Amino acid sequence: MSHFIEFRNVSFRYREDQPWVLVNVSFTVQADEWLAIIGHNGSGKSTIAKLMNGLLLPQQGEIFVDGIAVNEESIWDIRKRVGMVFQNPDNQFVGTTVRDDVAFGMENHGLPRQLMLKRVQSSLAAVGMSDYQAHEPHRLSGGQKQRIAIASVLAVAPQLIILDEATAMLDPKGRLEIMETIRQVQETQDLSLITITHDLKEVIKADRVLVMNQGRTWLEGTPREVFAAKDALRDIGLDTPFVTKLAAELTAAGLTIQREPLNHQELLEELWTLHSKM
Amino acid sequence: MDITFKDVSYIYQPNTPFEHRALSNLSFHIRSGSFVAVIGHTGSGKSTLLQHLNGLLRPTAGEVDIGSYKISAEGKTKDIKSLREKAGVVFQYPEHQLFEETVEKDIGFGPLNFHVEQEEIKRRTQEAIEAVNLPEELLQRSPFDLSGGQMRRVAIAGVLAMEPEVLVLDEPTAGLDPRGQREIMDMFSALHKEKKLTTVLVTHSMEDALRYADHIIILKDGRKHMEGPPLEVLVRKEELEQVQLDVPEVIQFLSGVEEKLGYSISYHNQDIAQLAKELVAMVKGGR
Amino acid sequence: MSSSMIIGQYVPGNSVIHRLDPRTKIAIIFFFVLIVFFANSVMSYGLLTLFAAGSAISTKIPANYLIKGLLPVWFLIVFTFLLHLFVTKEGEVFFSFLSFEFYTGGLIQGLAISLRFFLLILVTSLLTLTTTPIEITDAIESMLGPLKKIRFPVHELALMMSISLRFIPTLMQETEKISKAQASRGVDFRTGPVKERIKAVVPLLVPLFVSAFKRAEELAMAMEARGYQGGEGRTKLRELHTGRLDIYAYFLFVLVIIGLFITRS
């Protein structure tokens, strides 16, 4: 199994007189994998997303998507393979209606009209928005707009979807909608997924987590492995889940927790075992 | 200042096909000096409620009393301006309201509109920038050269410089990273105590409501769904679920402990370390 | 006030007129505007009025909605009529009141011109009432198509129009939000001397521009990420379709034109 995305010693800065935003970053993403990238604001995580589909090009190092090197010539090809959903629901809605917006990407890639008609239906169905075809964007909630953004990306049939803080501006209900949508999409389609987020509930569900700090890859591992490094995470300004914090305090207070817990259930099991041994 | 809503209703675009009732017979009382969290989903009427607190909207029916100010459908608008000086509102994404050439001028803009004297404005600007933890050097910079988090703080400082007695906060941490969120909320909490403010926080975060507020109002479709002290309101799982809200995580966990291990530990705002000690004592059978 | 004004507003529906190809509607209206000026007899005016009224009825938009919506324009029409009535001194005096004398020539000319005016406004508002702005944009793009040969940026123009349409409501909401935020900081948009009120616009406009630029930047990024690279090699989902209905419409309109030239005096 080859890597779907590969960063080889990538460094990037916006202008020559400015500091490096990314320094010598290397990592890979497998096909069908869900990778979460976390880091506080300014750690370089959004820059990574923009490098992956050629919205930015690195000054040093190389990036490969599906075996193709990302450069000026290949970007249009790359963008068919890598879809992106951004933070602000309003500023990525191009069409005057839902239907038009879903078609926008396909139109850009020159897909035949018959295929577009089919894919508008299927991708709206995939995000549960089939009844909203003729809706105008200002009649939709933030969460609904983001679902349309996901549908628009799905319609182009990419192999990777990047959600760049796509839930940051939504209320809890909107976030839930998006998480549910993503879960369904991941289940039904062969896709890699990269979520850039502050939301710990999203991070826990990922297969693997990449922690960025000051433009460098700081830690890489499963959510369990990453959250085990809680003190260090806190030092670089990141939050950890409630159970992680509690487990740490329990350890400090003299209990031996066998396995780093990720949810209430796991921590309760640990406590139960300890309790029955007493 | 005490805030009282008496049977307040608000209707948008009345007598048109777009007529929409945002608040229905809403009544509640907020004691001077309390920290109130208003919770509800988008469309529950909380942003309409908030706009009544400084007279941006007048109730269609009923009356809003804020200190000695009375706002009703018929009332005159004469003293609305002085109400706005006393009730400062930090809107969602407040950095969108910045417009001056320098941070200093922007922070001083509110006081200037309320005819505060230059010397006093200068003093307040200094105090406000300190309160939001920004270095004084930023005062001469353009607000548009700052980072997103700094812009947010400048905008907040602009409201603080009006020296309001009531502080209304509409999701003041939206879009910030976790560290930024905590810093901003801790700052408001400290200000609330230090300046003896009456604070109204509109939020989605049950955790923040539990941690900072001493009184909770939960709205549903423009009506009051629940009201009371946090430890009474935020534990009622079924009622919260009716408005698709969750019980705060720590309380959820404690009820898990009770179910699984049969011990009940009450939550009284203890921090995680203290909670851990109580759990350890329980597990070791010390009680 | 603004909500009762119907010029430029779209009323959803599925009438014959709604279903016409927007290009057909634009073409017919264009020529209608021209031929209105050829009418010069009772019969010819009658014919054009019949055509316009017939079109209006077939939109199935309630008549009182149309009449109320054109209310602000009625004033102009009546004013035009009175102007001609008072100023034109041709034909015989048919009525005199105090020192005013009214001439038949003035009456006839006043009626004719205000009828013309009314017909023009009615027919053009039928276009916007039955056609979404985006359909009009599509029609313009298609009708200006030949200009691409002389490198006129037809596609870009159409895209600009459609994005503007898309963002108008968003910017309206934003304006409201910012003006509320500034009002909370003591800005008074409503009362006070004119000079002060003009000054009060600055705290509103600067943030609006800043945000519009930011939106534009992010939108451009999002469009690029979705593979936008200009009109070249692009396909379209929205399709304009000239069908049998349009042929009937053109045929009917040609009959009207022929009728007009027969009934002219």
E strand or H helix that includes residue B197? none
Among A242-251, B185-194, B270-279, C32-41, name the most confident range.
B185-194
Q: Which residues of C252-265 are buried (b: 16+ CB within 10 A; e: fewer)?
A: ebeebbebbeebee
Number of domains comprising chain C: 2
Residue B91: DSSP 8-state = -
Q: In this structure, what are the phi and psi dihedrals at residue A90, rounded to the nearest 5 degrees?
A: -75, -40
Q: How far is CA C252 from CA B52, C28, C54, C249, in A?
A: 58, 10, 12, 5
- The answer to whether position C247 is within a domain reads yes
Instruction: Judge if ipTM > 0.85.
Output: yes
Contacts of C211 in chain B (CB under 8 A): 96
Contact C177 B144 (CB under 8 A): no
As a whole number, mean pLDDT of residues A253-258 equals 84
Contact call for A84 and C225, based on CB within 8 A: yes
| Residues in B touching A266 (Cβ below 8 Å) | none
C212 & C247 share domain: no
- Say if residue C7 is in the same domain as residue C122: yes
Query: What pLDDT score does C1 carry?
Result: 34
Residue type, B32: S
**Confidence band, pLDDT 50/70/90 cuts, at residue C2:** very low
pLDDT in tens, A167-188: 988 888 888 889 888 888 888 8
Nearest-CB residue to C235 (from A50, A99, A112): A112
User: Which positions 165-184 of B are in contact with A (Cβ < 8 Å)?
Assistant: 174-180, 182
**Over the stretch C225-235, which tens digit does the pLDDT of each residue have?**
999 988 778 88
Chain C touched by B203 (CB under 8 Å)? no
Nearest to A268 among B148, B174, B260 (CB): B260
Question: How many interchain CB pairs under 8 A, A with B?
Answer: 91
Which pLDDT score, from 0 to 100, does residue C94 have?
A: 80
Nearest by Cα to A53 from A158, A203, A123:
A158
Give the residue-averaged pLDDT of C204-215: 93
Select the residue of B175, B275, B283 nearest A275 (Cβ to Cβ). B283
Domain co-membership, C17 together with C105: yes
Q: What is the number of H-type helices and E-type strands within chain B? A: 11, 10
Closest CB from B179, B276, B282 relative to A237: B179
Give the model's confidence band at B77: pLDDT under 50 very low, under 70 low, under 90 confident, else very high: low
Instruction: Give residue B34's Cα distance to chain centre.
Output: 11
Residue with tokens 């910030």: B176
Band of the pLDDT at C72, cuts 50, 70, 90? confident
| Residue C177 contacts A where some CB pair is shorter than 8 Å | no
Give the amino acid at A106. M
Residue with tokens 């309380």: B251
Domain membership flag for residue C233: no
CA distance A65 to A79: 10
What was the pLDDT predicted at B163?
A: 95
pLDDT of the residue at A278:
65
Backbone angles phi, psi at C91, to 5 degrees: 75, -160
* Best to test chain B binding among A40, A86, A235 (most B CBs inside 10 Å): A40
Cβ <8 Å between C185 and B96: no
Q: What HEC string does chain A produce?
A: CCEEEEEEEEEECCCCCCCCCEEEEEEEEECCCEEEEECCCCCCHHHHHHHHCCCCCCCEEEEEECCEECCCCCHHHHHHHEEEECCCCHHHCCCCCHHHHHHHHHHHCCCCHHHHHHHHHHHHHHCCCHHHCCCCHHHCCHHHHHHHHHHHHHHCCCCEEEEECCCCCCCHHHHHHHHHHHHHHHHHCCCEEEEECCCHHHHHHCCEEEEEECCEEEEEECHHHHHHCHHHHHHCCCCCCHHHHHHHHHHHCCCCCCCCCCCHHHHHHHHHHHHHHC
Chain C interface mutation, best of A76, A94, A118, highest count of C Cβ atoms under 10 Å = A94
Put simply, the chain B residues between 219 and 248 with a CB less than 8 A from any chain A CB are 244-246
Q: Judge: A97–C234 Cβ closer than 8 Å, yes or no.
A: no
User: C10, C166, C173: which to substitute to probe chain A, counting the most A Cβ within 10 Å?
Assistant: C166
The domain A3-224 is placed in CATH, from the list 3.90.600.10, 3.40.50.300, 3.40.50.2020, 3.30.420.40, at: 3.40.50.300
Contact between chains at C215 and A53 (C-beta distance less than 8 A): no
Residue C110 near residue C140, CB atoms below 8 Å:
no
Q: Please provide the DSSP assignment of B231-287 as one string.
A: HHHTT-HHHHHHTT-PPPHHHHHHHHHHHHH------SS--HHHHHHHHHHHHTT--
Rounded to the nearest angstrom, the minimum Cα separation between B270 and chain C is: 37
Q: Are residues C167 and C192 in the same domain?
A: yes
DSSP string, B99-141: -SSSHHHHHHHHHHHTT--HHHHHHHHHHHHHHTT--GGGGGS
Q: What is the pLDDT of residue B14?
A: 81
Mean pLDDT computed over A219-225: 93
Tokens of B283: 């597990």
Do C65 and C97 share a domain, yes or no? yes
Q: Which chain A residues have a beta carbon less than 8 Å from that of B178?
A: 40, 198, 237-239
Among A149-153, A205-209, B150-154, C77-81, the range scoring the smallest mean pLDDT is: C77-81
* Surface-to-core class of residue A246, CB atoms within 10 Å of its CB (0-12 exposed, 13-18 middle, 19+ buried): buried
Q: How far apart are CA B216 and CA B226, in angstroms?
A: 8
Identity of the residue numbered B240: L
Statement to judge: residues C52 and C120 lie in one domain = yes
Instruction: Read off the pLDDT of each residue in B167-174 and give the average, rounded to a whole number.
Output: 94
Domain-located, residue C231: no
In a domain, C29, yes or no: yes
Residue type at position B10 = Y
C27 and C89 together in one domain: yes
Distance from CA of B89 to the nearest CA of A (A): 20
Same domain flag for C207 and C250: no
- pLDDT bucket at B83, cuts 50 / 70 / 90: very high
Place of tokens 């109320």: C68
Among A233-242, B179-188, B218-227, C211-220, whose mean pLDDT is lowest?
A: A233-242
Determine the average pLDDT of the residues in B51-65: 92
Q: Does B15 touch chain C (CB under 8 A)?
A: no
Q: What is the pLDDT of residues B95-146, one digit of tens each?
A: 999 999 999 999 999 999 999 999 999 999 999 999 999 999 999 999 999 9
Q: In this structure, is residue C140 part of a structural domain?
A: no
Nearest CB partner across the interface for C178, out of B81, B89, B96: B96
CB atoms within 10 A of CB B79: 14
Yes or no, beta carbons of A246 and B260 under 8 Å apart? no
Residues of B in contact with A254 (CB under 8 A): 280
Amino acid at C165: L
Best residue in A179, A236, A246 for a mutation probing chain B (most B CBs within 10 Å):
A246
As a whole number of angstroms, the distance between CA B152 and CA B170 comes to 13
Domain that holds residue C18: 2-131+242-263
Find the mean pLDDT for residues A76-100.
93
Q: Report the C-alpha gap between C216 and C211 in whole angstroms.
A: 8
Q: Where in chain A is the domain with CATH 3.40.50.300?
A: 3-224
Question: Is the domain of C168 the same as that of C109?
Answer: no
Tell me the torsion sign for CA atoms C245, C251, C255, C261: positive
